C-alpha cells in the first residue's frame, strides 16, 4: 500500500480517537460522503461498535457523468498499533455503464475482531473508470475536379477516427465506526463495579433476611398480643364472675344472718311460753 495512504489512514484514525469519547457518546447512524472524480459515495454506518460485533455499512454511489465503471471497491481497515489490519474488501459494482444521476446501492458487513483495540474503522473507496476518448485530428481527402468539372472549387470530406477508452482511477479515505474496546482504566472501573455489585447483592440478601426476621418477629409479637388479649379477656370474664359470685355470696350470707337471727329469736321465746302454761 502507498505510504501516503497509510499516513492518511493513521491521521484519520487518530483524529477519530481524539473525538471518539464525545462524538460517539450515544450510538446512532451517521453518514460520510466521499467525493471521487466520477462518483459521490455516501457511507452510512453506526457511530460505534463493540469488539466481536458485526457492523453494517450502507453504500450509495451517485454518478456525476456518463462513463463506464470498471469497478467500485470498498476496503475496511482498522489500526492496530503501527499496522493496518484489513477487515474486508468488497466490490460494490463491476463493469456497468452509468449516466449522470444514476445510483448504485449496496450493504456490506464486517466483523470486528474480539481483540481489536480502541480505535476507528477506516474505509478506502476506489473507483476504476473508463472514459471514451476522441482524437480530434482529422483526415482530409480532396475530391478530384474531374468529377465536378471545376478545379477552382475543390470539395473535401473528413473522417473521425474511432474513439477508444482511457482508464481513470481514484480513491479516497473515510472514517467509519468507532471501536469501543476496553482500556486499562475501563477494566479497572469494571472490576470495581463488579465488586460493588457483589457487595450490593450481599447487602440486599442480608436486608431481605433481616426483613424476613422482622416479619417473623412481628408475627410472633402479634401472636403473643393475641394470646395476651385472650388471657385478658378470660381474666376479665373470671373477675366478673368472681364479683358476681362474691355479690351472690354476700347476698346469701345476709340472708343466712337474717334467717339465723329469726331462728335464734324463736328459740328464745318458746321456753317462756312453756313455763307459763305449766303454772
pLDDT at 4: 53
pLDDT at 269: 59
Say yes or no: domain 3-181 is CATH 2.50.20: no
pLDDT at 69: 94
Question: Can you give the residue ranges of every domain in the chain?
Answer: 3-181
pLDDT at 140: 46
**Model confidence at 169: pLDDT above 60:** yes
Tens of pLDDT, residues 99-143: 999 999 999 999 999 988 888 899 999 999 998 776 555 444 444
Tens of pLDDT, residues 20-43: 333 334 558 999 999 999 999 999
pLDDT at 147: 44
Parallel, antiparallel or unpaired: strands 139-143 and 119-133: unpaired
- Using pLDDT thresholds of 50, 70 and 90, give the confidence band for residue 278: very low
DSSP per-residue codes, the chain: --HHHHHHHHHHHHHHHHHHHHHTSS--EEEEEEE-SSEEEEEEEESEE-TT-EEEEEEEEEESS-EEEEEEEEEEEEEETTEEEEEEEEEEEEEEEE-TT-EEEEEEEEEPPTT--SEEEEEEEEEEEEEEE-----EEEEEPTTTTS-TTS-EEEEEPPPPEEEEEEEEEEEEEEEE----HHHHHHHHHHHHHHHHHHHHHHHHHHHHHHHHHHHHHHHHHHHHHHHHHHHHHHHHHHHHHHHHHHHHHHHHHHHHHHHHHHHHHHHHHHHHHHH-
Global confidence as pTM: 0.54
Section 68-74 average pLDDT:
95
Tens of pLDDT, residues 197-228: 999 999 999 999 999 888 888 888 888 888 88
Section 152-179 average pLDDT:
72
CA angle 98–33–45, rounded 5-degree value: 110
- Using pLDDT thresholds of 50, 70 and 90, give the confidence band for residue 163: low
Cα–Cα distance for residue pair 116/118, rounded to 1 Å = 7
Cα–Cα distance for residue pair 187/119, rounded to 1 Å = 17
Section 233-256 average pLDDT:
85
pLDDT at 266: 67
List Cα–Cα distances, 202 to 195, 237, 257, in angstroms. 11, 52, 80
Look over the chain and give the mean of its residue pLDDT values, rounded to a whole number: 79
- Using pLDDT thresholds of 50, 70 and 90, give the confidence band for residue 158: very low
Cell for 178?
Answer: 468507532
Cα–Cα distance for residue pair 38/16, rounded to 1 Å = 27
Tens of pLDDT, residues 190-205: 788 889 999 999 999 9
- Using pLDDT thresholds of 50, 70 and 90, give the confidence band for residue 148: very low
Cα–Cα distance for residue pair 192/249, rounded to 1 Å = 82
- Using pLDDT thresholds of 50, 70 and 90, give the confidence band for residue 261: confident
Amino acid at each position: 500500500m502507498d505510504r501516503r495512504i497509510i499516513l492518511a489512514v493513521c491521521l484519520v484514525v487518530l483524529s477519530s480517537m481524539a473525538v471518539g469519547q464525545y462524538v460517539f457518546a450515544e450510538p446512532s447512524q451517521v453518514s460520510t460522503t466521499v467525493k471521487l472524480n466520477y462518483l459521490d459515495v455516501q457511507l452510512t454506518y453506526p457511530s460505534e461498535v463493540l469488539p466481536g460485533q458485526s457492523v453494517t455499512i450502507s453504500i450509495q454511489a451517485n454518478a456525476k457523468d456518463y462513463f463506464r465503471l470498471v469497478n467500485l471497491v470498498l476496503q475496511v481497515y482498522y489500526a492496530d498499533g503501527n499496522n493496518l489490519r484489513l477487515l474486508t474488501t468488497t466490490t460494490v459494482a463491476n463493469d456497468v455503464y452509468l449516466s449522470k444521476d444514476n445510483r448504485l446501492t449496496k450493504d456490506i458487513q464486517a466483523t470486528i475482531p474480539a481483540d481489536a483495540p480502541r480505535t476507528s474503522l477506516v474505509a478506502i473507496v476506489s473507483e476504476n473508470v473508463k472514459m471514451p476518448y476522441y482524437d480530434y485530428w482529422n483526415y482530409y481527402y480532396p475530391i478530384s475536379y474531374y468529377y465536378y468539372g471545376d478545379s477552382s472549387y475543390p470539395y473535401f470530406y473528413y473522417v473521425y477516427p474511432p474513439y477508444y477508452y482511457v482508464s481513470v482511477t481514484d480513491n479516497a479515505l473515510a472514517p467509519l465506526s468507532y471501536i469501543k474496546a476496553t482500556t486499562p482504566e475501563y477494566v479497572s472501573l469494571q472490576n470495581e463495579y463488579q465488586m460493588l455489585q457483589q457487595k450490593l447483592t450481599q447487602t440486599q440478601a442480608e436486608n431481605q433476611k433481616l426483613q424476613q426476621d422482622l416479619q417473623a418477629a412481628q408475627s410472633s409479637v402479634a401472636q403473643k398480643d393475641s394470646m395476651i388479649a385472650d388471657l385478658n379477656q378470660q381474666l376479665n370474664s373470671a373477675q366478673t364472675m368472681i364479683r358476681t359470685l362474691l355479690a351472690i355470696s354476700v347476698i346469701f350470707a345476709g340472708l343466712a344472718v337474717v334467717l339465723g337471727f329469726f331462728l335464734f329469736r324463736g328459740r328464745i321465746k318458746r321456753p317462756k311460753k312453756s313455763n307459763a302454761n305449766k303454772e
